[in-house]
Chain A
Amino acid sequence: MQTTGERVLKGVTGGVQLGTTAAGIRAKGLNLAGRFKGRLAPNGVTSNLTERLEANASRRLAEIQADAGPRSHFFSRHGAQTTIEQQYERALTGLTPDGFSGNAVDSGRFLSHRGQLNAVQAAEEIYARTGRKVFTFDAGYEIGEGFLRNATGSVRTCNVRAVFDTNGKLKTLFPQLSPLP
């Protein structure tokens, strides 16, 4: 049985299946490589599209964070544009990727902008359905990576923790690392 997060994520990502699309075109015998020889290479098509999808997702995440107000940092501190070194630094010293000097805490980033955007949309769906402002859900695949506080270890996770404010705006959303006692 699928989890709520899995169902939502499947719905969100269902329309984008790059590998299937390319394979389907090849199976139908369409000689696109021949027709567009010198202009497009199959791998180039996929990587170019992936880059565009990532850029679009990044732009959308920045918009959602801006719309949520200045106290929202889920993209600037946990987005895929942050580096694993920045997450290590925050876990060790408290310096966030966007330059705020806070406490040393568990520090994680999403592995892709599309993964984070899917997680945002899944979280919004769960919030709309349950009214819960703080919750964790399982993305169904490895979605984030980071360091435990004081950089005692690096981990990957499928878990996402979401926090909404009283107006239904996303306060923060982060890959939750090793939450079990």
Chain B
Amino acid sequence: MKSVNPYFLHTLLEPITGLADDDGAVARYASLDPNDERSVRKVIRELILPHANSLKEAVRKEVRLAYRFYLSKPEANWGRVFDSNLPPFNAPNDPRLFFIWVWEECFLGESYDLADWDSYSENPDINGPLRL
């Protein structure tokens, strides 16, 4: 059975991880409306897209699969993925939207729809991202 590692969902958030502990970053994004798609996409293009483009292809492949799987899985808790990284701003009211915007900016023109998502098994391997 094909498997998907949810820890790769955190990979694209690395540029904003822990910035809630950076007072300057918190001040910089204090006025950001997390529900304003245009503003948030701008932040994604500035911070996350360059990081996504710098990833090795093997990592991008795992990240792509993890996004496709969990964006297709109806009950995925996207709020936990976002909040557990201590970012400097809040997620939109529907946290899944943030990840859709990340997907659309980082995987331009690709569909995240994974029709056979229920044929995959989840393999939460915390060391997976460190091995690639």
Interface residues of A, Cβ cutoff 8 Å to B = 3-5, 71, 73-74, 77, 96, 100, 102-103, 105-106, 126, 130, 132-138, 148-149, 159, 161, 163, 171-172, 174, 176-181
Contact = CB atoms under 8 A, between A and B. Distances in A.
A3 B38 CA distance: 41
A134 B11 CA distance: 8
A158 B40 CA distance: 32
B85 to A, nearest CB: 7
Contacts, number: 95
B22 A103 contact: no
Interface in B117-132: 124, 126-127, 129-130
Contacts of A77: 21
A144 to B, nearest CB: 12
Closest 3 CB pairs of A and B: A172-B18, A134-B14, A179-B84
Contact of B6 (A73, A106, A161, A180): A180
Q: Which of A174, A176, A177, A179 has the most CB of B within 10 A?
A: A179
A103 B14 contact: no
Contacts of B126: 3, 136-138, 159
Contact of A171 (B18, B26, B81, B88): B18
Given A3-B127, A105-B86, A159-B126, A181 B21 contact: no
18 contacts: A71-B23, A71-B24, A73-B22, A77-B21, A105-B86, A106-B83, A106-B86, A132-B129, A134-B14, A137-B126, A148-B80, A171-B21, A171-B22, A174-B86, A178-B80, A178-B84, A181-B6, A181-B81
Contact of B130 (A71, A130, A174): A130
A69 to B, nearest CB: 11
Contact of A102 (B18, B23, B81): B23
A149 B83 contact: yes
Interface in B85-132: 85-90, 124, 126-127, 129-130
A177 B84 contact: yes
A179 B24 contact: no
B2 to A, nearest CB: 18
Contacts of B83: 105-106, 148-149
B123 to A, nearest CB: 11
Nearest to B23: A100
Contacts of A73: 21-22
Nearest to B24: A71
A88 to B, nearest CB: 15
